[in-house]
Amino acid sequence: RGIRVGYTPDVLTDATAELSVALLLSACRRLPEAAEQVKSGGWTTWKPLWMCGYGLSDSTVGIIGLGRIGQAVARRLKPFGVKKFLYTGSGPKPESAAEFGAEFVPLMRLAEESDFVVVTCALTPATQGMCNKDFFSRMKKTSVFVNTSRGTVVNQEDLYEALSQGWIAAAGLDVTTPEPLPTDHPLLSLKNCVILPHIGSATYATRSTMAVLAANNLLSGLRGEPMPHELKL
């Protein structure tokens, strides 16, 4: 119908990457569970293995989708002492991967070898439901799964089974299906699943920049001028 579309690219990359790392650390070090123990009186005498989780040092991190956000996540995780980065996607990205020495591998090899899996890919027909029972069953029992892309990339019923049956250690989600997730959803009953309300871009600076870009797109469109960020249809 000749309707022009403006959008706000790039501005949320850093905020979403930071949130991805925060979610990964929260899940692997059991932070919400530990904080709840302080409130509930579960924190008593010191116990050697109480609240133990998994660390990033000397680990293998698999990134599904090495785009802008995937690279920003890897850039932030590298100083934690990650030993190896794997990635998968529609094809190899040697120039992007060189910064991290990341190796392009098939999806199932990434599942089998990664200690941490971070999903930052786009939602396409090829990626919808990609993280399913077959994927989770290939992962290590000590591995942690994080999704900050789109909820439907993950089969949530399969993820629940993987977490409740101990196929994987923990998961962190900033995106779900549907959103908001119903408060009686089975995933919310699990201690080893950290779920956030889609706050990847929720910093004051990022939301302000998004608003300004949207307003400038709108003003340019109303004037009949090229938008600063226009989606070419």
Q: pLDDT tens across 123-179, in order?
A: 999 999 999 999 999 999 999 999 999 999 999 999 999 999 999 999 999 999 999
Q: What does residue 6 show for φ and ψ, rounded to 5 degrees?
A: -105, 155
Instruction: Give me the residues paired with residue 104 across strands.
Output: 87
- pLDDT tens track of the chain, all 233 residues? 889 999 998 999 999 999 999 999 999 999 999 999 999 999 999 999 999 999 999 999 999 999 999 999 999 999 999 999 999 999 999 999 999 999 999 999 999 999 999 999 999 999 999 999 999 999 999 999 999 999 999 999 999 999 999 999 999 999 999 999 999 999 999 999 999 999 999 999 999 999 999 999 999 999 999 999 999 98
What predicted TM-score, i.e. pTM, was given to this entire model?
0.95
Query: Is 198 a residue of the active site?
Result: yes
Q: What does residue 173 show for φ and ψ, rounded to 5 degrees?
A: -125, 130
Q: Among residues 30, 138, 140, 198, which one is catalytic?
A: 198
What is the rounded CA–CA span in Å between residue 179 and residue 21?
21
